[in-house]
Structure 1
Amino acid sequence: MNDFIRQLARAEAAAHGRGGTRAEFGPLVAAHHGPGLPLNSAWHDGSASLTEADLLDFEAFSAAHDMPATLHLLSPAVNEVLPPLTARGYALTYVLHAYTHDLRDLPPAPTLDVRRSDDPDDWAALSAQGFGPGSEAVMRVVAHLPGTGLYQAHVDGQPAGTAALGLTAGVAALFGTSTVPDRRGLGVQTALLAARLHAAHTQGAALASVFATPGSASERNIRRAGFRLTTLRLTFTRTG
């Protein structure tokens, strides 16, 4: 794993551990945020080998919080960690594309009205309109995570979309991007990406990162904003 990927893995793991109940097991940073939330998982920080003892401790933490033993890692780590994962009955369950953006090269400022939101619950409710039924509980958790900057885009004076930004060790993580269904196709995601890249640069970040579902409309917007595909985020869940 090169230094660039390791920096990204460390930042994601550190950010993952904010809020909720946090625990570390070797290179894994685990967090539990509430019953049944998809945020309940662990991140491999890229710093060390993953042992069977680490996994046993993580699985005990997961069982104590009634959550599946699910962990995320960046693909350069997979060759090293796959043997202990396979031995403990983990299977690959999800893949996302990981994109990065050098903040020395910014896109144009957004043309839509993008504002900071100071009402986390209002932001979460609007975000859930875009993500769909059943998403409001997790978006409320996201909105209240320490150190998270919340943004809303407006079209014709009406709220049209949401996004979030978190900074960790010089890396700006972009997440929580959602567009209200009847405002799609109007450049909302593009505006929210540009606004956060400029904000991250102003706040001293050198690099921005974002994850995308392969082949999605969000991925196309991310590529148009100047992000480059850097690696994969692999999710493993214990099934055995």
Structure 2
Amino acid sequence: MGEEDLATVFCDRDLAARIERLETAAIAGGVEAARRRSPSGFVLPLGGGAACFAEVGSPLNKVAGVGFGAVPSAGEWERVEAAYAEVGVPVQVELAHLADSRIGAELTGRGYRLTSFENVLGRRLVGRTSSASAQIEVRRDDESGFEVWLEVVVDGFASPDDDGSPTHEEFPREAIAAVMRDMAGVGDTRRYLAYRDGVPVGGASMRIDAGVAALAGAATLPAHRRRGVQTALLAARLADAAAAGCDLAVITTEPGSKSQENAQKSGFGLLYTRAVLVKEV
């Protein structure tokens, strides 16, 4: 990578708001897909973001993007909490540290507890991107088909790496498969498979929206980890994003994880952190 590739991205509130809006739109799109199975799903606009519920046990059940619009009133929080209580799940708020600080104070006052953090990293898409390992071949999943991609990614996520900060979230295989299937059809979402010796061993996805490439859904089968699979998937997606005219790529990781290390080696820098706050209702 050249010096221009590694130029630090300064993240102000406007850039964070741009990323959070796209994240919220993607989650809302996944919820709309899930509603074909679970009509009880909802998307409630809230403070520039939305309170989302897909179905019981779904990773999409969260309040996302809040804090970059009008500060929600106590009454709005009460309505959101009542909506989650009706479907029997806790309220989970993912709050960017660049969001309006009054929201954090409101949530702690309402009994929310801090459970974890996640990091949002980004890099400009200029110049050339990093090259992948010659031992790993990456292809779009069009050739092998969606079901092969889904099986590889779900198998990878079902056996998480024990690195980085502990996470409060664990989901059964069925829930992971459902959300992957729902998110696969949201907007311009592209899926990738990584092969070693002709065998699919890892997968990932990328969603392009308004010049931003959001990298997600990356997983490697346990027996093939630490062999450059994720680095190859990252390089392939960055090259596609640049070719598509995106100016920014973003990725969300657990703090201190191998995923964060791989991203930083590929020129990503920390943009902001989300605090995850939860309230039982």
Indicate the SS of the match to 2:98: helix
Q: Post-superposition shift, 1:238?
A: 1.1
Q: Post-superposition shift, 1:103?
A: 0.9
Aligned match of 2:93: 71
Indicate the SS of the match to 1:18: helix
1:132 paired with 2:175, answer no
Alignment coverage as a number of residue pairs: 240
Q: Post-superposition shift, 1:222?
A: 0.8
1:154-213: per-residue Cα shift (whole Å, max 9, x none)? 011000101111122222111111011111121100011111111122222211111111
* 1:216 equivalent among 236, 257, 279: 257
1:10 paired with 2:51, answer no
Instruction: Write the distance in 1 (CA, Å) between the matches of 2:105 and 2:277.
Output: 13
Instruction: Write the distance in 2 (CA, Å) between the matches of 1:103 and 1:188.
Output: 21
1:144 paired with 2:182, answer yes
Q: Post-superposition shift, 1:91?
A: 1.4
Indicate the SS of the match to 2:30: coil
* 2:55 equivalent among 19, 26, 34: 34
Q: Post-superposition shift, 1:8?
A: 1.5
Gaps of 5+ in 1: none
Instruction: Write the distance in 2 (CA, Å) between the matches of 1:120 and 1:48.
Output: 40
Instruction: Write the distance in 1 (CA, Å) between the matches of 2:83 and 2:241.
Output: 34
Instruction: Write the distance in 2 (CA, Å) between the matches of 1:105 and 1:93.
Output: 39
Instruction: Indicate the RMSD between aligned Cα atoms, in angstroms.
Output: 1.9
**Where does 1:217-232 land on structure 2 (aligned, <5 Å)?**
217-232=258-273
Aligned match of 1:80: 102
- Amino acid of the residue matched to residue 214 of structure 1? P
Aligned match of 1:184: 225
Indicate the SS of the match to 2:99: helix
Q: Post-superposition shift, 1:12?
A: 1.4
Greater Cα offset, 16-25 or 172-181: 16-25
TM-score (normalised: structure 1) = 0.91
* 2:138 equivalent among 92, 107, 114: 114
Q: Post-superposition shift, 1:121?
A: 3.3
Instruction: Write the distance in 1 (CA, Å) between the matches of 2:226 and 2:151.
Output: 21
Distance 1:47 1:26, change over 3 A: closer
1:77-136: per-residue Cα shift (whole Å, max 9, x none)? 162211221222111111012100111144224342111114333322211221226334
* 1:156 equivalent among 197, 202, 226: 197
8 Å contact 2:57–2:175 — kept in the other structure? no
Instruction: Write the distance in 2 (CA, Å) between the matches of 1:96 and 1:188.
Output: 22
* Segments of 4+ moved more than 4 angstroms: none
1:204 paired with 2:230, answer no
Percent identical across equivalent pairs? 33
Instruction: Pick the structure with more strand per residue.
Output: 1
Aligned match of 2:75: 53
Aligned match of 2:120: 98
